[in-house]
């Protein structure tokens, strides 16, 4: 066991996961759990994978984030099915530190979430990839944010090879609810990244921001596809995607699609694909940084 | 400190023609000139942002630096606040100031709040803001000045530092120039604002890619006035000729 943890920490996982409320999963097995009052977690290890049911009772507001770490060391599949229900007036943040090491790894997660009235759910998924990692990542999140609710998510892979990555979000946003979805990724030689955000602004005064940043640091392929539907009265949406090329033989694609069928709704978008701004690089070089250092600083900022 | 010998730039059309300049140590040397005169081009060439199609010599502290990269020049102690400064996503003002420290030449300041106050910004309001497009042009410019104070250069080019900074704050700029001078820095100040000439110790007039005149700031100021009139007369002649 301590061997697994040593592996995880050497990949960059913060040590404080050991003494914070958490659920730590290796492959399809729960290896550690520290409960938090008011958050019920049920686990079922089945043939298809691990099923996790998380229920946050009403009015629960932990001050610190709950850790939900999924990792896989060595070849094989990890398949996780998560159901999250955040009860009325609760406010909770989950941090998923996901660490992977080895060849022929599959990491598949399907998450269903429901954010009840006036509740708040924040999910941050930060990946720690080992140097020679060979991985397929398929992460799908689907959910509803009820009246006055908030959903925030950040998905980030920035170290070493990203792998074959497919990240999908599909969210219904009800009255006065708001969501903020961000994906930040850096890819390298051989990586293939696909990000899809589908947002239905169904409620009146519902709000959504879908933002993605993909930096191609090697020969790779990446695509962002975002659809936001402005359906409810005064719904407001914005898609902001930008992709950055650092070398030749890269295929990047960004498609923001905006569908509005309500005259009071408004959805805007901005999309950009290009190389890093020369002016930014020069500004840092004027402070003594060589080009590689300058690029690293700029990319780190973009993916923060 | 900095010498420029027979510098020309341009492929077919010469944007700079046979420029000769000598900027002694601890001088506040102003170059004034109308839009399109070639002022920013000259700054970019001095700092190595432009290297192709440049003839002539750029000598910094008796060393020919024509072939050095931007960062190599910076590490020798030269830097610049460009006319238009870049924005950075995800980098806070506080982090941005820290970036000046890795290759800093002199450690004049180590307190971020202090430098922000010096450039007229309230540290409480700005330290945690991002150096991105949410800052106004003037705010961004002031932060660049703060970052230069943190870098502590031997030689600094300030290209239109007053652009975007309100007129009432010209004194702020004077204050910063004084700090730089007190710290023994040499300053090349690029401007088309005659008011800034009052802070200079020496000046030159750049017109159409040529240094027309070098002298005391007062001489250059008077000459620039006349020059503007000449320009107007030239334009009138041009229009008359066309008709
Ligand atoms: N990349 C370029 N290609 C062609 N012409 C250029 C280029 N860069 C600058 N120029 C031209 O060179 C001339 C000098 O430009 P420069 O920016 O140096 O002027 P400036 O004196 O700094 O003007 P301003 O006061 O407006 O800042 C201008 O006529 C400009 O149009
Ligand atoms: Mg200029």
Confidence of residue B70 (pLDDT cuts 50, 70, 90): very high
DSSP state for residue A19 in the 8-state scheme: G
What tokens were used for A60?
């629960």
Selecting from B70, B84, B89 the residue whose C-beta is nearest the C-beta of A286 gives B70
For B15-64, the pLDDT digits (tens) are 999 999 999 999 999 999 888 889 999 999 999 999 999 999 999 999 99
Q: Among candidates B161, B159, B186, which has minimal Cα distance to B174?
A: B161
Q: Is the CB of B24 under 6 A from ligand 1?
A: no
In which residue are the tokens 């998510």 written?
Answer: A153
Q: What residues contact residue A279 under an 8 Å CB cut-off, 6+ apart?
A: B82, B84, B86
Helix H or strand E segment including A44: strand A39-45
Per-block mean pLDDT, blocks of 10 residues, chain A (304 long): 83 87 94 95 94 97 95 95 98 96 96 98 96 95 98 95 97 98 95 97 97 93 96 96 86 93 94 88 97 91 88
Gap between the Cα atoms of A54 and A71, Å rounded: 19
Domain total in chain B: 1
According to the model, what pLDDT value does residue A58 have?
Answer: 98
Contact in structure between A249 and A278 (CB atoms under 8 Å): no
Chain A CA closest to residue B101? A287
Gap between the Cα atoms of B139 and A213, Å rounded: 26
According to the model, what pLDDT value does residue B217 have?
Answer: 92
According to the model, what pLDDT value does residue B232 have?
Answer: 62
Gap between the Cα atoms of B52 and B59, Å rounded: 17
Contact in structure between A163 and A130 (CB atoms under 8 Å): no
Chain A CA closest to residue B150? A287
A-chain residues near B79 (CB < 8 A)? 286-287
Average pLDDT, chain A: 94
Please identify among residues 211-230 of chain A the ones whose CB lies closer than 8 Å to any CB of chain B: none
According to the model, what pLDDT value does residue B193 have?
Answer: 84
Confidence of residue B13 (pLDDT cuts 50, 70, 90): confident
Residue B94, domain member (yes or no):
no
Helix H or strand E segment including A98: strand A91-101
Segment among A13-27, B119-133, B192-206, B218-232 with least mean pLDDT: B218-232
b/e burial code for range A43-60 (CB count within 10 A of at least 16 → b): eeeeeebbbbebbbeeeb
Residue B135, domain member (yes or no):
no
Provide the strand spans (E) within chain B.
2-9, 16-23, 28-32, 54-60, 63-64, 78-81, 155-159, 186-191, 202-207, 210-215
Contact in structure between A87 and A56 (CB atoms under 8 Å): yes
Q: Is the CB of B83 under 6 A from ligand 1?
A: yes
Provide ipTM, 2 decimals: 0.92
b/e burial code for range A117-144 (CB count within 10 A of at least 16 → b): bbbbbbbbbbbbbbeebebebbbebebb
B-chain residues near A282 (CB < 8 A)? 49, 70, 82, 86
According to the model, what pLDDT value does residue A247 have?
Answer: 79
Residue B133, domain member (yes or no):
no
For chain B, say whether A272 makes contact (Cβ under 8 Å): no
Confidence of residue B11 (pLDDT cuts 50, 70, 90): confident
For chain A, say whether B4 makes contact (Cβ under 8 Å): no
Asked if the Cβ–Cβ distance from A303 to B90 is below 8 Å, we say yes
According to the model, what pLDDT value does residue A27 have?
Answer: 94
b/e burial code for range A230-261 (CB count within 10 A of at least 16 → b): bbbebbbbbbbbbbbbbeeebebebebebebe
Asked whether residue B236 carries a pLDDT value surpassing 80, the answer given is: no
Chain A CA closest to residue B103? A288
According to the model, what pLDDT value does residue B67 have?
Answer: 93
How far apart, in Å, are the Cα atoms of B161 and each of A36, A291, B196, B205?
55, 25, 10, 17
For chain B, say whether A301 makes contact (Cβ under 8 Å): yes
Residue B168, domain member (yes or no):
yes
Ligand 1 atom closest to Cα of residue B190 = 22
Asked whether residue B235 carries a pLDDT value surpassing 80, the answer given is: no
| Residue A130, phi then psi, degrees to nearest 5 | -75, 165
Ligand 1 atom closest to Cα of residue B34 = 25
Helix H or strand E segment including A95: strand A91-101
| Residue B179, phi then psi, degrees to nearest 5 | -60, -50
Asked if the Cβ–Cβ distance from B100 to A287 is below 8 Å, we say yes
Closest C-alpha to ligand 1, atom 26: B35
For chain A, say whether B80 makes contact (Cβ under 8 Å): yes
Q: What residues contact residue A169 under an 8 Å CB cut-off, 6+ apart?
A: A140, A141, A142, A153, A181, A196, A197, A198, A199, A210
Confidence of residue B104 (pLDDT cuts 50, 70, 90): very high
Gap between the Cα atoms of A296 and A285, Å rounded: 12
- Residue B217: CATH number of its domain: 3.40.50.300
pTM for the whole thing?
A: 0.83
Q: Which of A182, A215, A283, A290 to mutate against chain B (most B CBs within 10 Å)?
A: A283
Residue B129, domain member (yes or no):
no
Gap between the Cα atoms of A118 and A150, Å rounded: 7
* Domain region containing B184: 2-85+153-242
Residue B179, domain member (yes or no):
yes
According to the model, what pLDDT value does residue B59 have?
Answer: 96
The conformational region for residue A100 under phi > 0 = left, psi -120 to 50 = alpha, else beta, is beta
Distance of CA A9 to the CA centre of its chain: 21
Q: Among candidates A7, A1, A64, which has minimal Cα distance to A30?
A: A1
Ligand 1 atom closest to Cα of residue B43 = 18
According to the model, what pLDDT value does residue A83 have?
Answer: 98
In which residue are the tokens 């301590």 written?
Answer: A2
User: Degrees (nearest 5) of the Cα angle A266, A115, A270?
Assistant: 30
According to the model, what pLDDT value does residue A86 have?
Answer: 98
Asked if the Cβ–Cβ distance from A285 to B100 is below 8 Å, we say no
Residue B159, domain member (yes or no):
yes
According to the model, what pLDDT value does residue B234 have?
Answer: 66
Asked if the Cβ–Cβ distance from B102 to A287 is below 8 Å, we say yes
Higher-scoring residue by pLDDT: B226, A78: A78
Contact in structure between A173 and A202 (CB atoms under 8 Å): yes
Asked if the Cβ–Cβ distance from B82 to A290 is below 8 Å, we say no
Contact in structure between A119 and A151 (CB atoms under 8 Å): no
User: Degrees (nearest 5) of the Cα angle A122, A123, A126?
Assistant: 140
Confidence of residue B229 (pLDDT cuts 50, 70, 90): low
Please identify among residues 211-230 of chain B the ones whose CB lies closer than 8 Å to any CB of chain A: none
Distance from CA of A299 to the nearest CA of B (A): 9
Residue B119, domain member (yes or no):
no
Q: Which of B51, B88, B97, B148 to mutate against chain A (most A CBs within 10 Å)?
A: B88
Gap between the Cα atoms of B66 and B193, Å rounded: 30
Gap between the Cα atoms of A196 and A165, Å rounded: 11
């Amino acid at each position: 066991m301590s061997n697994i943890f040593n592996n995880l920490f050497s990949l960059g996982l913060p040590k404080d996961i050991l003494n914070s409320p958490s659920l730590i999963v290796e492959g399809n097995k729960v290896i550690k759990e520290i409960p938090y009052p008011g958050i019920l977690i049920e686990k079922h290890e089945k043939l298809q994978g691990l099923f996790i049911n998380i229920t946050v009772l009403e009015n629960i507001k932990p001050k610190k984030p709950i850790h939900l770490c999924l990792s896989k060391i060595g070849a094989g599949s990890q398949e996780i099915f998560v159901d999250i229900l955040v009860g009325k007036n609760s406010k909770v943040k989950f941090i998923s530190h996901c660490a992977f090491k080895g060849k022929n790894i599959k990491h598949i997660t399907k998450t269903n979430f429901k954010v009840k009235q006036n509740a708040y759910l924040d999910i941050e998924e930060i990946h720690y990839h080992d140097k020679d990692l060979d991985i397929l990542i398929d992460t799908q999140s689907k959910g509803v944010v009820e009246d006055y609710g908030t959903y925030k998510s950040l998905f980030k892979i920035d170290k070493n090879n990203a792998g074959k990555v497919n990240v999908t979000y599909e969210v219904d946003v009800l009255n006065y609810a708001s969501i903020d979805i961000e994906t930040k990724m850096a890819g390298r030689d051989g990586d293939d990244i696909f990000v899809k955000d589908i947002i239905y602004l169904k409620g009146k005064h519902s709000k959504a921001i879908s933002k993605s940043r993909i930096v191609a640091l090697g020969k790779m392929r990446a695509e962002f596809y975002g659809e936001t539907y402005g359906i409810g009265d005064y719904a407001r949406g914005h898609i902001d995607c930008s992709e950055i090329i650092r070398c030749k033989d890269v295929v990047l694609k960004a498609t923001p699609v905006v569908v509005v069928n309500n005259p009071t709704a408004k959805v805007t978008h901005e999309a950009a694909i290009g190389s890093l701004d020369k002016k930014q690089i020069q500004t840092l070089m004027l402070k003594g940084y060589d080009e590689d250092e300058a690029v690293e600083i700029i990319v780190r900022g973009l993916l923060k | 400190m900095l010498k420029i010998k027979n510098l020309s730039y341009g492929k077919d059309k010469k944007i700079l023609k046979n420029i000769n300049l000598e900027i002694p140590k601890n001088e506040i040397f102003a170059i004034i000139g109308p839009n399109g005169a070639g002022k920013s081009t000259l700054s970019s060439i001095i700092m190595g942002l432009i290297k192709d199609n440049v003839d002539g010599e750029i000598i910094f502290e008796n060393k020919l630096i024509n072939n050095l990269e931007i960062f190599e020049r910076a590490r020798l102690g030269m830097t610049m606040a460009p006319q238009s400064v870049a924005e950075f996503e995800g980098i806070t003002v506080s982090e941005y100031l820290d970036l000046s420290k890795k290759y800093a030449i002199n450690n004049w300041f180590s307190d971020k709040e202090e430098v922000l106050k010096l450039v007229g910004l309230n540290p409480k309001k700005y330290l945690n803001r991002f150096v991105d497009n949410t800052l106004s042009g003037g705010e961004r410019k002031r932060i660049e000045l703060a970052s230069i104070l943190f870098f502590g250069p031997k030689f600094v080019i300030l290209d239109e530092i007053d652009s975007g900074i309100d007129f009432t704050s010209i004194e702020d700029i004077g204050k910063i120039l004084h700090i730089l001078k007190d710290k023994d820095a040499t300053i090349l100040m690029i401007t088309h604002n005659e008011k800034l000439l009052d802070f200079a110790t020496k000046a030159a007039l750049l017109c159409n890619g040529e240094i027309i005149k070098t002298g005391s700031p007062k001489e250059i100021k008077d000459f620039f006035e006349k020059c503007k009139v000449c320009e107007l007369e030239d334009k009138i002649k041009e229009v008359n000729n066309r008709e």
